[in-house]
Structure 1
Amino acid sequence: MTTPQFDELIHPSTRLTLVATLAAADWAEFAYLKDRLALSDSALSKQLAILEEAGYVETERRLEGSRRRVRAKLTDAGRNAFNGHVAALQAIVAGPAAT
């Protein structure tokens, strides 16, 4: 059972969408995330860096031919924080009748 825990770091809509997208995949390519969230390279890089610094996301940079590729995934800590945040939001929506 997931303990409801509101997470201020995940809560902003861009980060919440990013983390939700990563929660549905093992790894996600930078280009896919950029398109999915409609962000610029720099905006996505900034969000990933914030989440990576918190230990919620792991990124991998590799070369494929002459192209640099970046992909990201949630860490266990990130997945736990996301699940707790979703549980907290569900508890808020359910209201006092659910307790």
Structure 2
Amino acid sequence: MPILIKIAGEGLSNEWAIIELQGDLESHSESSLEGKIIGDLYFTKSGSPVLIIGHHLLYGKETKLEKPFALLEKRKTDSSTEYLVKCIIKNKIIFKTRPKPIVGKE
């Protein structure tokens, strides 16, 4: 399941990116993760992405996609179906290292 995030550009129109996680993302409950907030995404001063999920910290990197994706919105009218291009996705943020636990002071 691709996870879409919206990145606000500096002085430019808004850009979108895809987050790619290596491995599995599991929940304690049996319900689906679709439509739920799973963590917080931050960028360091140097521009490296950092994802915090629960008590885990993941470091990633941003890369360009080989082939861009189009985000489409489906609209049905009385007589036909049309698709509106919302944006073109050109970047992905990839997290491929093992998560590091966040440990508090005792």
TM-score norm. by structure 1 comes to: 0.29
Of structures 1 and 2, the one scoring higher in RCO (CA 8 A, sep 6+) is 1
Say which structure is richer in strand: 2
TM-score norm. by structure 2 comes to: 0.28
